[in-house]
Amino acid sequence: MMIGKMLWFNSEKGYGYLQTEDDERLYVASAGFLPKEEPKARCAGRHVTFERSEDAGEPRAVNVAFVPESELPNRARLRTPRSGSKL
């Protein structure tokens, strides 16, 4: 399984794109989502797991599932120094 982020998905057209950790942009069709995982609303920026496949020589994502927020690693926030403070 690979991890990436949804760039966009249009449910009316039945396809969208996700970005892999290697900055590769992959096509994903409605059929590429696991059952009950197809997005029904905005999903840009949400993390997904998927498998990379090829169809007619074109790369695409299959077995796509959203990663629950609770399973994402916590990231430290960048702090901005207060005015007048020394680093």
The model's pLDDT over 10-54, given as tens digits with 9 standing for 90+, comes to 999 999 999 999 999 999 999 999 999 989 888 999 999 999 999
- Please state the φ and ψ torsions of residue 20, each to the nearest 5 degrees: -80, 170
- Buried b vs exposed e over 51-86: b needs ≥16 C-beta within 10 Å? eeeeeeeeebbbbbebeeeeeeeeeeeeeeeeeeee
DSSP state of 76: P
Query: Domain range holding 59?
Result: 2-71
Q: Are 30 and 77 in contact (CB under 8 A)?
A: no
Residue 82 lies in a domain: no
Residue 57 lies in a domain: yes
Residue 80 lies in a domain: no
* pLDDT at position 70: 78
- Please state the φ and ψ torsions of residue 49, each to the nearest 5 degrees: -110, 150
* pLDDT at position 16: 96
Query: What total of structural domains would you count in the chain?
Result: 1
